[in-house]
Amino acid sequence: MCETFAMANEKAQHPPVRFETHPDRYKNVELSFPAEYGGEVACIALDIKEDGGLRPGYPLKLNSYDLGVDLELADAVNRVRFEHPEVKAVLVASKKDRIFCSGANIYMLGSSTHAFKVNFCKFTNETRLWLEELSAEGGVPTIAALNGTASGGGYELAIACDEIVLVEDGSSAVSYPEAPLLAVLPGTGGLTRLTDKRKIRRDLADAFSTVAEGVRGKRAVQWGLVDEAPPRAKFDEAVIRRTKDLVARSKRKKGAKMVLNPLSPKRETDRVEYTYVTVELERAARKATITVRAPSGSEPQTPDELAKKGDAAWLVRMARELDDALLDLRFNQPEIGVVALLTKGDAKDVLAAEKILLAHDADGLVSEVRLQLKRVLKRLDMTAKSLFCLVEPGSCFAGVLLELLLASDRVFMKDVEDVFVEVSPAQAGLFPMGNGLSRLESRFLGTPSQVGKLLEHKEPLDTQSALDRGLVTFAPDDLDWDDEVRIAFEERAAMSPDAMTGMEQNLRFGGPETLETKIFARLSAWQNWIFQRPNAVGEKGALTLYGRPERPEFDFNRT
């Protein structure tokens, strides 16, 4: 079946994926706050139902997961951030007997389109990174309690935590069986975290990643794959001891609680209308337009005001809406190739709204709002669509919204009066990219002095000033604007989406290489390629034949 037909068939058979959920609606994840920790620990426990999949047709046996499970996991982590400021550590566990998690469901992967598989792995990668950010920047350390085997994505979830305790019972193991059993890779950052995070020796990582049965107890500790492997009789004691130690060293900032309410957008066939974000689709042109509106009226300037306004605050609401819109484009609109990024409103209102981030980052709630904006902007960086920014009269690309411009692959700014962009202190590293640099620094790798000059500039920049300073790619005048923009979009949409995705992901992440850029620019790129190879997904491929009596047939020619 060709990929185009498979995509069309999948869209015809399955309703669109929706990315909002709530603990009251979880089917496979339980979020609790155990009494033995005095309410200071959030336990995220996997209790995955065999019939609890996002789509019918594959049983989720042995705590295997699909996108629906990952959506619940991501939501649970976000609830801990905003709705439970008292939590000082997170315990990731299983409610199934003698099994932690057997990873991504193989039958789900085998029955999905290539595009869905890649986007699934990308979302899972982001969720793991957000869990790590919760510890590194949110001050909430994490621990994985492996009461049984953790294989594939199950161990990848564990390795995203700060500490791992594996029960020693003679059978429970950690493993990456993807290469020997499925002819694919541990695609949610598994290989990178072995070497870059846990600093496993290359030879040991090689052996571990090619032994399907994995590594048990004592050897797993010796190799650095887990931190402790107590016998079953002492497993709970070890988990409690280590979790309490994490609580004691938590550096979470004090802040108020914020309830995250439903977004409730208005959805039409080719349009989605949120409070501050609008998405319009032109399917025939393979184009989408995302418009982000500035706040109207006063926005919180202190932590108390932010807590009082809650998730209706522009910074929070806008970020959540943009995040939902980006995920919708990824999973539900695969035919869309080019995205126009627009803003509407008064730049002064944007700059006024972001002041709280600069003045009160020591507050826990304010810090979480900044981190959420950072994550959403990273989601934009990682979205496999061409991003073209359009700066026109009425735009407000200033401060936090200037990050949309800096994230774009090209910037078109109309050369007429009363069109401006404005740099603010938000560009001085408030929202770093995956490479650890600000988007302004990433833009001017060859001329780093330009960054300081722009940050020192206190006035709005008109079109020619922005062009001269390197913030704009093209500046057509009023006569040429429509034709130049139209042609640019048409040309881009006509190019190979595979080539464009590869090109964009390389060009967006210049500069230093980090664990995060390795995961997305290297591991995900190779996994993307491997997912299309006959050895994995061909008629006799390992992923295709998984669970059947036939053995896979490999083409043993090395590329």
The answer to whether residues 273 and 237 belong to one domain is no
Is the domain of 329 the same as that of 372? Answer: yes
**Does pTM top 0.85 for this prediction?**
yes
Give the separation between CA 273 and CA 267, rounded to whole angstroms: 6
Tell me, yes or no, whether 402 and 495 share the same domain.
Answer: yes
Of 151, 145, 162, 122, give the one whose Cα is nearest residue 385: 122
Residue 181 falls inside a structural domain: no
Long-range contacts made by residues 52-58, C-beta under 8 angstroms, separation at least 24? 52/27, 52/28, 53/105, 53/108, 54/17, 55/14, 55/108, 57/107, 57/111, 58/105, 58/107, 58/108, 58/111
Query: How far lies 190's CA from each of 137, 208, 524, in Å?
Result: 21, 11, 11
- Examine residue 197 and state whether it is found in any structural domain, yes or no: no
Same domain for 239 and 305, yes or no, is: no
Do 244 and 270 reside in the same domain of the chain? no
Residues 299 and 433 grouped into a single domain:
yes
Domain containing residue 423: 266-503
User: How far, in Å, CA of 88 to CA of 428, rounded?
Assistant: 29
Q: Given 503, 528, 552, which residue is the final one in a domain?
A: 503
Is residue 346 included in any domain, yes or no? yes
Q: Which regions of the chain are under pLDDT 50?
A: 1-12
Whether residues 308 and 439 share a domain: the answer is yes
At which residue do the structure tokens 């090209």 appear? Answer: 410
Is the residue at 98 inside a domain?
yes
Give domain status of residue 117, yes or no. yes
Residue 521 lies in a domain: no
Same domain, residue pair 231 and 108: yes
Position 4 scores a pLDDT of: 39
Tokens matching residue 43: 């336990």
Does 276 lie in the same domain as 150? no
CA distance 36 to 244: 10
Q: Pick from 477, 503, 529: which residue ends a domain? A: 503
515 assigned to some structural domain? no
Residue 228 sits in the same domain as residue 343: no
What pLDDT, on the 0 to 100 scale, is given for residue 2?
Answer: 37
Supply the angle between the helices 364-381 and 67-83 in degrees, to the nearest 10: 150
In this predicted structure, what is the pLDDT of residue 6?
42
User: Is there a single domain that holds both residue 155 and residue 291?
Assistant: no
Q: How many domains does the chain have?
A: 2
Domain holding 411: CATH number?
3.90.226.10
Contact at 8 Å (CB) between 400 and 354? yes
DSSP strand pairing (142-146 vs 89-94): parallel
Q: What is the 3-state secondary structure (H, E, C) of 150-177?
A: EECHHHHHHHCCCEEEECECCCCEEECC
CA 367 to chain centre: 18
Structure tokens at 128: 């793991």
| Alpha-carbon torsion angle 61, 176, 142, 371, nearest 10 | -100
Is position 427 within any domain?
A: yes
Whether 127 and 65 have beta carbons less than 8 Å apart is answered as no
Whether residues 276 and 319 share a domain: the answer is: yes
Position 13 scores a pLDDT of 58
The pLDDT, as a whole number, for residue 1 is: 33
Last residue of one domain, picked from the residues 484, 503, 522: 503
